[in-house]
């Protein structure tokens, strides 16, 4: 497995990470706990060192799963989790909270659930407009000085917010959705990250599964699958967006690869400090995703993809309105 460094932070991780959310949250029924533990450990065996979770996934159960899976391998991996949501006494998410005292409580709780003594990378999951970002960065700075956190990250933040946070506590990485069918970070966020020496971690790099070519207008999702409520996944949008997959399939056929591998290779080719974190619950998909590091897209390939993609208009919003409003702040 190739390695990459997130910006100028010195934090080295595998070129492909593993997003663990879907193992306990968001995409319908998952496998058994033991199957997911085996999958996480298989990823380490294959050279993956970068594992992404969050308190809100489950909620809480995904951190416990990741912690248990990685406990015997702790010295080989980078464990990432997130703060920024608030829960009621029943564990139901009820809004955002990035008050400094709350951030510190979340850090302690995440450390317990993960069974570790330091969080390698601690993201603000969503920017909270009610708390100045300088206070958020200051709280994480305190956690770093206390030895509970190593690196500060942000998720779905706007360029100017990233600048303000970085001035208080250097930001190691920004995580946002980015793929061939969601390219908004290119406009403002990526240039700021390059300027400031911050790494970029695309989540949903396979378009929540759509870019794999395994989903079409007739695919049915379970009732607890988040794609049920995403406008981009209506049958009409899926039919209209098939052209994006057809583009990937054409390149993949020529390269002896899969559409998913081309989609990931395209991200890797954008910048040397970009590290996508595709999620999966299947060993064969894990192997497929890791294989993307060996797909060499030439300048001509990238130009062809760019030219073809510029003629496509993706149909449907990537989130329902109430979730989209939490991004880009």
For residues 257 and 291, is the Cβ–Cβ distance under 8 A?
Answer: yes
The span from the CA of 269 to the CA of 211, in Å, is: 17
- CA-angle at 298, arms to 292 and 301, nearest 5°: 90
Going by C-beta distance under 8 Å and a sequence separation of 6 or more, which residues neighbour residue 177? Answer: 156, 185, 202, 203, 204, 318
217 secondary structure, DSSP code: T
For residues 109 and 55, is the Cβ–Cβ distance under 8 A?
Answer: yes
Q: What six digits make up the tokens of 188?
A: 């403002």
Among the listed residues 204, 208, 209, 211, the one whose alpha carbon sits nearest the alpha carbon of residue 178: 204
Instruction: For CA atoms 226, 229, 232, 236, give the dihedral sign.
Output: positive
The span from the CA of 25 to the CA of 286, in Å, is: 18
Q: What DSSP line would sit under 267-281, residue for residue?
A: HHHH-TTB----B-S
- How many CB atoms are closer than 10 A to CB 90? 6
Q: What DSSP line would sit under 221-266, residue for residue?
A: --TTBGGGG-GGGSHHHHHHTHHHHHHHHHHHHHHT--HHHHHHHH
Peptide bond into 59 cis (omega under 30): yes
What are the beta bridge partners of residue 81? 122
Catalytic residue IDs = 57
């Amino acid at each position: 497995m190739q390695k990459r460094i997130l910006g100028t932070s010195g934090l080295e991780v595998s070129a492909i990470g593993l997003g663990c959310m879907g193992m306990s949250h968001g995409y319908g029924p998952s496998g058994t706990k033991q199957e997911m533990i085996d999958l996480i450990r298989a990823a380490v065996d294959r050279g993956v060192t970068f594992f992404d979770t969050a308190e809100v996934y489950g909620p809480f159960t995904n951190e416990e799963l990741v912690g248990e899976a990685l406990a015997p391998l702790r010295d080989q991996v980078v464990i990432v989790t997130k703060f920024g949501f608030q829960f009621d006494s029943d564990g139901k998410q009820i809004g955002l909270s990035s008050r400094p005292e709350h951030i510190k409580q979340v850090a302690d709780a995440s450390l317990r659930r993960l069974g570790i003594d330091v969080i390698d990378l601690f993201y603000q999951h969503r920017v909270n407009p009610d708390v100045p970002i300088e206070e958020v960065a200051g709280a994480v700075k305190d956690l770093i000085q206390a030895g509970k956190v190593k690196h500060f990250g942000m998720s779905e933040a706007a360029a100017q917010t990233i600048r303000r946070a970085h001035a208080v506590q250097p930001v190691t990485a920004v995580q946002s959705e980015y793929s061939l069918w969601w390219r908004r970070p290119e406009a403002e966020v990526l240039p700021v990250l390059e300027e400031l020496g911050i790494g970029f971690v695309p989540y949903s790099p396979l378009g929540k599964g759509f870019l794999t070519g395994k989903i079409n207008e007739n695919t049915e999702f379970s009732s607890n699958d988040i794609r049920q409520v995403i406008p981009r996944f209506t049958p009409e949008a899926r039919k209209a967006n098939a052209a994006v997959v057809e583009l990937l399939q054409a390149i993949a056929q020529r390269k002896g690869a899969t559409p998913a591998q081309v989609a990931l290779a395209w991200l890797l080719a954008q910048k040397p400090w970009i590290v996508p974190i595709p999620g999966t619950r299947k060993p064969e998909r894990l192997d497929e995703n890791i294989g993307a590091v060996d797909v060499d897209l030439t300048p001509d390939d990238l130009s062809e993809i760019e030219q073809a993609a510029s003629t496509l208009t993706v149909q449907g919003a990537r989130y329902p309105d109430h979730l989209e409003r939490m991004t880009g702040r």
